[in-house]
Structure 1
Amino acid sequence: MQLIIPDWPGLPPNIGAFATLRGGGASQGPYDDGNGGGGLNLGSHVGDLLPTVESNRAQLDVLLPASPLWLAQVHGHHVVDAGAAVAGVEADAAIATRAGVVCAIQTADCLPVLFADMNGAVVGAAHAGWRGLQGGVLQNTVARMRAAGAGPIAAWLGAAIGPERFEVGADVLAAFADAAPAGQARQQAEACFAPIAQRPGKYLADIYQLARLALREADVQNVYGGGLCTVSDRNFYSYRRDHVTGRMASLIWLK
């Protein structure tokens, strides 16, 4: 199994976290590792054989204190307590305050964001596509963690569609610009969109920078990760590149 271990300076020793890549499982066809080998597709909703997905998830469970809470992600901004919610709940973020409860986010171009209370009492994970970002999923996750007693919070940005590949329309730019306060904040939001010279009305969006702006708004000062492009690198699943594809997971828990 291929994993990314977040480079997260100062992470408390009672917090575990990693993100999966595409390879190392049993999935075949469009859900494979990109080279004809088995893929570690963890999404049960993408057309892969359910027994295969269950096998991949069982392989993942060996590395975890418990099976993760798998959310039904809807590109929204609802946050749940992973220790109290049931599998399949519609939400795009989760927090955990008890040891052994695993928060998990599935992605294949959207941005996974992991959160850690640097006092080691609360963790969280959020699924941040552009709709969730614009709707405040990151701010909501931070607020839920603080309500649960978190102190200083750090965030790690996982692999997502990169700023050279994320083509969007003027409606997406307008959604972020209109949601920002007038003045510098609006200018900063607009600066995350680069016009495409040969395609009027089309822009390249920087989802990483949009996330950093949202985290700054939530007063999260320590932000790590970013810069890995799921579309350009075939070690990752990418819906934008392949359309029919698997899902990776980013996970965090208290030990």
Structure 2
Amino acid sequence: MKKTTIYIIPVLFLLMISCSKQPKERVLSMKDVFPTEINTDSTFVFDLDTITIFDKYHEKYEYYKKVTSKKQYVRTQNYNIPLNINFFIKCHLPTFCPKEKNTIILEGDFKENETFFFHEEEKKLNVKNFEKYLKKQLLNWGKDYGYSDSPDRSIILLRYRNLTEKSKKRLDNVLDTISVSYFNFIRSFEKRNIDSLKRVYPLQILLEKDFRLFDESGNLIKLPPPPKPAPLEIVE
């Protein structure tokens, strides 16, 4: 009988230790920030080939109007990322026209294999650079006049010239870079509700076709400045 008691005591001791251990906190994943979306009455999930269809066939305009009234997500290699396919961002009333300080412009898809840049001293787009700039934009709250008024007004304007297979691949890589930078931004808050953070600091990407003039090699054609008006002659 004594032997049985001796064996029971260590077992109970081990059980007490295991129960006292706190469960490991689950590590935040990209899927938490960018969950898989499905097409519904209020959601439209598409890939970059869909943009090509809109570019080529203007008779799709009625269909285009229907999908732009929904929440839009582009399907990349890895995730579903919010992306607004609005081709009419030109600043003519009554269309939408964001302030320059609220807009992060990404461009560079002019030549084959050219790196994308964003307009903060023409910095090359990579996760580290873009994450740093996102923090300046989204955490500014109007303090610094050079950055956004508020996070809900901050927009990433992604420009493309055409959508060849190589171009779509580069855009896909750009979207993945943006998504990782945004994920790192959300993760930096720690132990906060992800959905609440995404509402306060939304990731808003707007795709715009670049209507500027390019030569056959893909170089941007710089137009000469307009002539200065002649001075008025004063006749006494």
By relative contact order (CA 8 Å, sep 6+), the higher-ranking structure is: 1
Q: TM range, normalised to the smaller chain?
A: under 0.3
TM-score normalised by L of structure 2: 0.25
Higher strand share: 1
Larger Rg: 2
TM-score normalised by L of structure 1: 0.24
Higher helix share: 2
